[in-house]
Amino acid sequence: MPSVGAEGLSSFAPSAGFLRRRRLLAGLFAALLWAAAALSVLITLAIVAVLIGESLPFLEEVGLSAVLLDTVWTPLFAEPRYGIWALVAGTLTTTLIALALALPAGLALALYLCEYAPPRLREAAKPVLELLAAVPTVVYGYFALLVVTPLLQGLIPGLPPFNMLAAGLVLGVMILPYAVSLSEDALRAVPRELREAAYALGFTRLQTGLGVMLPAARSGIVSAFLLALARAMGETMVVTLAAGQNPRFTFNPLEGAATMTAYIVQVSFGDVPYGSRAYRSLFVVALGLFLCTFAVNLLATLLSRKRSHRGA
């Protein structure tokens, strides 16, 4: 058997130069990847910095109380008023209508998919939900303005062409796939022993679902609907097109009223001179929107973390 000498082996060993180059590249590569990950944190910081930085001068000029203690929003009038509640009311009303539709329908669908549906139907449902989520929001806006509103006008005489009811309902349809797929995940995370124990006690599937699965997945489901809620608050096109662009402090779904997002779109769809009052008012509204959605998202995250701590 021919033996390999020391020189024979060393000719296979990588040269010192190769190893040095490789080490250098490895370090460079790791640094690049780190920078990419750090960038994502920078984005959040930039959003917060921009929103605060651009609205602070505005808030200093008009005062925080003018924004928070008034219900008339007319920042572009000759005698401007900055009561942001007029926009918040629109956002809240449309969002709550959306939730009133999406909550029962979403719960029922998730429960059905999880407890009743044969595996084949369940497999088919996922891609369908995904396709639904891919419908562009401006297309939903078209539906709200030109299909749902005329339909509702047939049912409710005197309904204005811009109303929060149609916008809210379409918003509900829009967040439905999202709410269903998140609640389904929460239901799926319940240990199967719980379901089997219920069956062993003679529960029907409906009793199992309502009496065992839903309570067990409670925090996950609440967090799913909070995330859906935050999405509805931040949605733009449906409410801009269907609820109108007139800031009005009202919670009546049969009236039209601008939401926070609708105001931003309405103003920025024109030409906004940099640093003008219109420009700054955009960022004040945006800051309000950011705080609202951030609070709801944070609540959702805290709830789902509680669930994972309990180990359910």
Partner 1 sequence: MSSTLPPRIRRARLLELAFGLFGLLLPGAAAFTLLVLMFDLVRSGLPHLDWDFLSAFPSRRPERAGILPAWVGSLAILSVTAALAVPLGVAAGLYLEAYAPRGAFTRLVEVNIANLAGVPSILYGLLGLALFVDGLGLGASILSAAMVLALLILPVVIVATREALRAVPRTLWEAAYALGADRRQTLLRFVLPAAAPGILTGVIVALSRAVGETAPLVAVGALSFIAFLPPSPLRPEPPYVDAEWLFSPFTALSIQMFGWLSRPQPAFHELAAAAGVVLLALALLINALAIVLRLRARRLAP
Among residue numbers 79 through 138, which ones bind partner 1 (CB under 8 A)? 105, 108-109, 111-112, 116-117, 125, 127-128, 130-132, 134-138
Dig out the tokens for 198 from the structure: 């219920």
CB 299 within 8 A of CB 226: yes
Q: What is the CA radius of gyration of the chain?
A: 27
Contacts 24+ apart (CB under 8 A), 45-51: 47/290, 48/290, 50/283, 51/283, 51/286, 51/287, 51/290
Which stretch, 31-39, 57-65, 78-86, 187-195, contacts partner 1 (CB under 8 A)?
Answer: 31-39
Spell out, one character per residue from 277 to 306, where the chain touches partner 1: x when CB under 8 A holds, - when not.
-----xx--x--xx--xx--x---x-----
In the complex, least distance from residue 67 CB atom to partner 1, rounded to whole angstroms: 17
Spell out, one character per residue from 152 to 171, where the chain touches partner 1: x when CB under 8 A holds, - when not.
--------------------
Closer residue to partner 1 in complex, CB, 4/41: 41
In the complex, least distance from residue 105 CB atom to partner 1, rounded to whole angstroms: 7
Q: Which residue type, as a one-letter code, is found at position 231? A: R
Exactly one of 8, 69, 156, 207 binds partner 1 (CB under 8 A); that residue is 207
Rounded Cα distance, 184 and 111, in Å: 7
In the complex, least distance from residue 48 CB atom to partner 1, rounded to whole angstroms: 10
Binding positions for partner 1, 45-84, rule CB under 8 A: 46-47, 50-51, 53-54
Longest alpha-carbon distance in the chain: 101
In the complex, least distance from residue 108 CB atom to partner 1, rounded to whole angstroms: 6
Size of the site for partner 1 (CB under 8 A): 80
Closer residue to partner 1 in complex, CB, 142/249: 142
Q: Which of 154, 184, 172, 161 is nearest to 231 (CA)?
A: 172
Exactly one of 16, 200, 274, 310 binds partner 1 (CB under 8 A); that residue is 274
Dig out the tokens for 221 from the structure: 């489901």
- Residue count (the chain): 312
Closer residue to partner 1 in complex, CB, 19/69: 19
CA distances, 205 to each of 17, 109, 113, 116, 126 (Å) = 68, 14, 12, 7, 22
Rounded Cα distance, 89 and 249, in Å: 6
Closer residue to partner 1 in complex, CB, 73/143: 143
CB 219 within 8 A of CB 307: yes
In the complex, least distance from residue 11 CB atom to partner 1, rounded to whole angstroms: 15
Closer residue to partner 1 in complex, CB, 12/77: 12
Which stretch, 44-52, 75-83, 216-224, 250-258, contacts partner 1 (CB under 8 A)?
Answer: 44-52
DSSP H or E stretch at residue 7: helix 6-10
Q: Which residue type, as a one-letter code, is found at position 279? A: Y
CA angle 157/163/166 to nearest 5° reads 90
Closer residue to partner 1 in complex, CB, 35/69: 35
